[in-house]
Chain A
Amino acid sequence: MIEVEKLTKNYGPVTAIRDVSFSVAPGEIVGFLGPNGAGKSTTMRILSCFMPATSGSARVAGFDVFRESMEVRRRIGYLPENVPLYGDMRVAPYLDFVAEIKGVPRSARRARVAEVMERCMVSDMQNRLIRNLSKGYRQRVGVAQALVSDPHVLILDEPTIGLDPKQIADIRNLIKSLAGEHTVILSTHILPEVAMVCSGVVIINRGSIVAQGPIDRLVEQFFPTARVEVEVTAPRGAALEGMRAIPGVVRVEPLASGDGSGRFLVESARGRDVRGEIFQLAAQQKWGLLELRQVGMTLEEVFMRIVAGEERDAAAAAATEAEAQA
């Protein structure tokens, strides 16, 4: 549904994105992740036909965003980052305007606007001036205008930013409900959100794609081991040795130690649960077992590792360069 190939965008001498390639299958919800300034909004602006790329190509719903821009625009709903709306218009007339301009036929328009207001939970505000709405309602009106023409593809730039937890949950459920019939690409830096809503992610950093794919595959790729965190009252050396001897354990890392107790991170081959053996060991040795907990590796850790790793690489590269110059 969305195919992006070697997309590059320069703003004057600054390169915003470089050789970005990814694709999104029909009906999929994909999270577009990256730190601030990574190039998320730039990519989305190109996909929504707001501005052209310097080089490379992007196809949305089978049409080229630059050459067949009208066809693309007919098939997308776009929510820009800061939710720009006309403050001096009322909610219902505004949505009616968007529906009309997006080509919803006159006979269907009223029903369509009512439906989308219902779905986005803004019906009770339909006669208010947009200027007077709270942030949460503005955001929902923004989502409503993207949905009003029932587009194949939705491009949502930070749809939940600045909302309270209840509102975030509402928007999240709304987006989830779109899966299947719509293809959605949404950017965010709230990672748990992505895990809850999206089937796949594309991670971008410093203008380049650094990872993409289904979330569990990414987690597996970056964290190939299962992890257990243990706290026992035991001599440090004995505990380390005892746990390392358990079959399947790959690595034991001491985390911190207090008076007579120590915390350890035990890594084992994926699919191998060593918690039972650790308990047996503690019981045999008469250690006090204070905590025994499986550590689920989340997207957040993957993200941190990728982004931090990149930063280290960049710093190292800069250092080498400085040395070479000196």
Chain B
Amino acid sequence: MKVWPIYKKELRLYFTSPVAWVILTAFVFVTGLFFWSIFSYFAQASMRVMTNPQMGRDLNVTDGIMRPLFDNMRVILLFVVPLVTMRLFAEERRSGTIELLLTYPVRDGAVLLGKYLAAMTLYGVMIGTMLAYPAVVAYFARVEWGPLATGFLGLILMGAMFLAIGLFASSLTENQIVAAMVTFGILLAFWIVGWTAEFAGGSLSAVLGHLSIIEHNDTFAKGVLDTKDVIYFLDFTVLSLFLALRSLESRRWSG
């Protein structure tokens, strides 16, 4: 499998074009803004606790800072991930480079995996910048590292699924905007499907509830590691990658 050259090429393209830098800058800026406001709010709450110690029972860093931060992070990623993946196949199709790429001695699966891992790496760097926030918190207060670790694991697993869906959407079109919109539409649908669950009733409600991203991701931030949630994200990751592979191969079916 020649995943490695593809991986290197994609990573190079991310970082020699402005794409990765713009995404990283915007991401760091927005997450920083969120962290600042959450942190300031927590600091104020801590101040009030000093005058009224009774309130202090529920005040802790995990619930007060890290969980809200992870909550907001999920929303930001909903917007950012389509931008990370939209280029991967759509651009190759538009510029025609896919014709060369797919006539090199490399399997479709290796192309797909190389691109996926490159996107995953950029995503990892994005998530990596977030480590700065617990580090800041740890300077002032005691951080519970367990829930923090599961919280990050939750983000990584969610990202794996988002990126796989994005990659699939990108393989469908030669228009990057279409790819981004399709990705965003699918992700948003997974997002809000949980809200409709309340009103559906019966077993449909249970099914819709299980499909919801939020329901499966929130547990990670609480520090709970449930195989049900892990499987959920891995399932959709594998399914999306499989669909992307079929979509790549489909050019061999036609005619």
Where the two chains meet, the residues of A that have a C-beta atom closer than 8 Å to any C-beta of B are 9-11, 45, 48-54, 70, 73-74, 76, 78, 80, 82, 84-90, 93, 97-98, 100-103, 129, 145
B117-139 interface with A by 8 A CB criterion: none
- The reply to whether A74 and B252 form a contact with Cβ atoms under 8 Å apart is no
- The reply to whether B12 and A84 form a contact with Cβ atoms under 8 Å apart is no
A-B interface pairs (CB < 8 A), number: 70
Total interface residues on B, CB under 8 Å, equals 25
- The reply to whether B13 and A86 form a contact with Cβ atoms under 8 Å apart is yes
Minimum C-beta distance from A19 to chain B (A): 15
CB contacts (< 8 Å) of B100 on chain A: these are 78, 80, 84, 145
- The reply to whether B8 and A11 form a contact with Cβ atoms under 8 Å apart is no
CB contacts (< 8 Å) of A100 on chain B: these are 2, 5
Residue in A52, A82, A103 whose CB lies within 8 Å of B255: A52
Which B residue sits closest to A76, measured CB to CB? B103
Question: With A and B bound together, what is the CA distance between A267 and B254 in angstroms?
Answer: 52
CB contacts (< 8 Å) of B5 on chain A: these are 97, 100-101
Q: Main SS of chain B's interface residues?
A: helix
CB contacts (< 8 Å) of A98 on chain B: these are 104
Question: With A and B bound together, what is the CA distance between A70 and B109 in angstroms?
Answer: 13
CB contacts (< 8 Å) of A9 on chain B: these are 255
Question: With A and B bound together, what is the CA distance between A51 and B250 in angstroms?
Answer: 10
- The reply to whether A89 and B103 form a contact with Cβ atoms under 8 Å apart is no
Given contacts A82-B96, A101-B5, list 13 more A-B pairs with CB under 8 A: A9-B255, A10-B255, A51-B251, A52-B252, A73-B103, A78-B100, A84-B98, A86-B13, A86-B95, A86-B97, A89-B9, A97-B12, A102-B104
Indicate whether B203 reaches chain A with its CB closer than 8 angstroms. no
Question: With A and B bound together, what is the CA distance between A84 and B104 in angstroms?
Answer: 14
Given contacts A52-B255, A101-B5, are A87 and B95 in contact (CB under 8 A)? yes
Given contacts A51-B251, A51-B255, A78-B100, are A102 and B105 in contact (CB under 8 A)? yes
Which among A45, A50, A85 has the highest number of chain B CB atoms within 10 Å?
Answer: A50
Which B residue sits closest to A84, measured CB to CB? B96
Which B residue sits closest to A90, measured CB to CB? B16
CB contacts (< 8 Å) of A86 on chain B: these are 9, 13, 95, 97
Given contacts A93-B12, A101-B2, A145-B100, are A88 and B17 in contact (CB under 8 A)? yes
Which B residue sits closest to A131, measured CB to CB? B17
- The reply to whether B9 and A97 form a contact with Cβ atoms under 8 Å apart is yes
Given contacts A80-B99, A80-B100, A84-B97, are A103 and B105 in contact (CB under 8 A)? yes
- The reply to whether B6 and A101 form a contact with Cβ atoms under 8 Å apart is yes
CB contacts (< 8 Å) of B2 on chain A: these are 100-101
Indicate whether B33 reaches chain A with its CB closer than 8 angstroms. no
CB contacts (< 8 Å) of A73 on chain B: these are 103-105
CB contacts (< 8 Å) of A145 on chain B: these are 100
Which B residue sits closest to A83, measured CB to CB? B96
Given contacts A45-B99, A54-B255, are A101 and B104 in contact (CB under 8 A)? yes
CB contacts (< 8 Å) of A80 on chain B: these are 96, 99-100
A-B CB contact pairs (8 Å), 29 listed: A9-B255, A10-B255, A11-B255, A49-B103, A50-B99, A52-B252, A54-B255, A70-B105, A74-B105, A80-B96, A84-B95, A84-B97, A84-B99, A84-B100, A85-B97, A86-B95, A87-B95, A89-B12, A89-B13, A90-B16, A93-B12, A97-B12, A98-B104, A101-B2, A101-B5, A101-B6, A101-B104, A101-B106, A103-B105
Question: With A and B bound together, what is the CA distance between A45 and B105 in angstroms?
Answer: 15
B88-121 interface with A by 8 A CB criterion: 95-100, 102-107
CB contacts (< 8 Å) of B98 on chain A: these are 84
CB contacts (< 8 Å) of B104 on chain A: these are 73, 98, 101-102
